[in-house]
Amino acid sequence: MKISPLKSFKAILEDIASDKSISHRFAIFSLLTQGTCKIKNYLKAEDTLNTLKIINALGAKIEEDGENIYIQAPVSIKSPNVILDCGNSGTAMRLLIGFLSAIEGGFFVLSGDKYLNARPMKRVSMPLISIGAKIYGRDGANLAPICIQGMKLDGFDYKSDIASAQVKTALILAALHAKKESFFQEIELSRDHSEIILNKMGACIEYLNKEKTFIKINPLKEKLKAFEVCVPNDPSSAFYFALAACILPHSKVVLKNVLLNKTRIEAFKILEKMGVKITYNVINEDFESIGEICVEGAPLKAVNVSENIAWLIDEIPALAIAFACAKGKSMIKNAKELRVKESDRIKSIVLNLQKCGIKVKEFEDGFEVEGGEAKSAKIESFGDHRIAMSFLILGLRCGMEVDDSECIKTSFPNFIEILKQIGAKIGD
């Protein structure tokens, strides 16, 4: 896909992709309920639609009326006679490993595309195996296909040496069906959607310290109440158009109906440190804080980022584009997690920025970018939707060609449509 430079734009965007993390969670968490759940604005992208297919294979009844999706959980989870295909979604696979490991008497096989089946699952499977789960796979249950023999687990006291919402949620889902209470600690607070949503559904997950890094999970005594929700727009998806407003002079964008959870808008806070004027307006607080974000472009200044990395890990490829357009040297550190995403994102970012004539230094846990005038280049996406979208946004400034742009559909099916809406010229 080729994109041509754009001088500037002003836009109000309402049809940004629905939140992917929240969509996955509402689909999987519906299996814990009694009654019929109603989900409005569910993300209809490849990854999240695969999750619906999986819960259907596990026995859930799913209906759709165009705007809403209705899910009725089965009385008990059944062992399907098919492989459960997670597509490209590490979130779906890791959360389901946790959930299914505690389904007593069940047998399940999880797999995905060639990219997902090369991503490490040990960060979830090993903690679960250490508390008695029966999980098998290539490379010692590290690589999919993953086979799970569900069983009733004991309560546990587990300390994680990484801050990962996927690890935390997988352990929470296993603990909800355990024989007794469980405890989970992480080194810093990771994204906390699961605790917020599950508690509002009627689960009992308690914070044991003010940092909210130590939690107690009480087993479910009964099924949770069915929910009726509207999925907010994804701040990670909205961020691409915030970035566009930052790197194109005299541009402004208002992003509507966006999730404003503090663990999800850290990348916007980094843009503020770089000199961008951003305002937030909370509209409602249902399951989460939701509102609008207004971004006005300004000359970007360099910044060093080494804290709250777990809160902005998905936006770092886009932040790298901001760094490339800023005055001075910017740095990301403590982000080794980027090595195990849809691609090795540190290598993907460094290689592609260098192709654009930007000076970059690679570290094991991050990179340093010296801002400059990027030039048009042919970019390798490595099948990674966030790499593809980030460099298409850079293309608004200097023109760009991105290979394998089909991967964008895994998370943001109308991304190209919105690019055209703000005035971008796109061709094959």
**Tens digit of each residue's pLDDT (9 = 90 or more) over 255-293:** 999 999 999 999 999 999 999 999 999 998 878 899 999
**Binding site as annotated, residues:** 20-21, 25, 90, 119, 164, 166, 314, 341, 345, 386
pLDDT tens, residue by residue, 78-133: 899 999 999 999 999 999 999 999 999 999 999 999 999 999 999 999 999 998 99
220's CB contacts (< 8 A; 6+ apart) are: 32, 176, 177, 203
What is d(CA 374, CA 390) in angstroms, rounded to the nearest whole number?
13
Set 314, 344, 404, 428: catalytic member:
314
| DSSP-derived 3-state class of residue 70 | strand
Provide the pairing of β-strand 205-207 with 157-159: unpaired
What is d(CA 172, CA 98) in angstroms, rounded to the nearest whole number?
8
154 is catalytic: no
Provide the pairing of β-strand 252-259 with 289-296: antiparallel
What is d(CA 406, CA 399) in angstroms, rounded to the nearest whole number?
19
Share of the chain above pLDDT 90, in %: 93
Residues 252 and 295: beta-carbon distance below 8 Å: yes
Among the listed residues 234, 210, 213, the one whose alpha carbon sits nearest the alpha carbon of residue 91: 234
* Token output for 23: 């969509």
What is d(CA 37, CA 166) in angstroms, rounded to the nearest whole number?
23
Share of the chain above pLDDT 70, in %: 100
Which pLDDT score is estimated for 428?
A: 74
- How large is the greatest C-alpha to C-alpha distance in the chain, in angstroms? 61
- What predicted TM-score, i.e. pTM, was given to this entire model? 0.89
**Binding site as annotated, residues for 3-phosphoshikimate:** 20-21, 25, 164, 166, 314, 341
Among the listed residues 289, 303, 318, 314, the one whose alpha carbon sits nearest the alpha carbon of residue 394: 318
Q: Distance of CA 257 to CAs 26, 174, 236, Å?
A: 18, 32, 13
pLDDT at 25 over 80: yes
Report residue 170's pLDDT band, with 50, 70 and 90 as the boundaries. Answer: very high
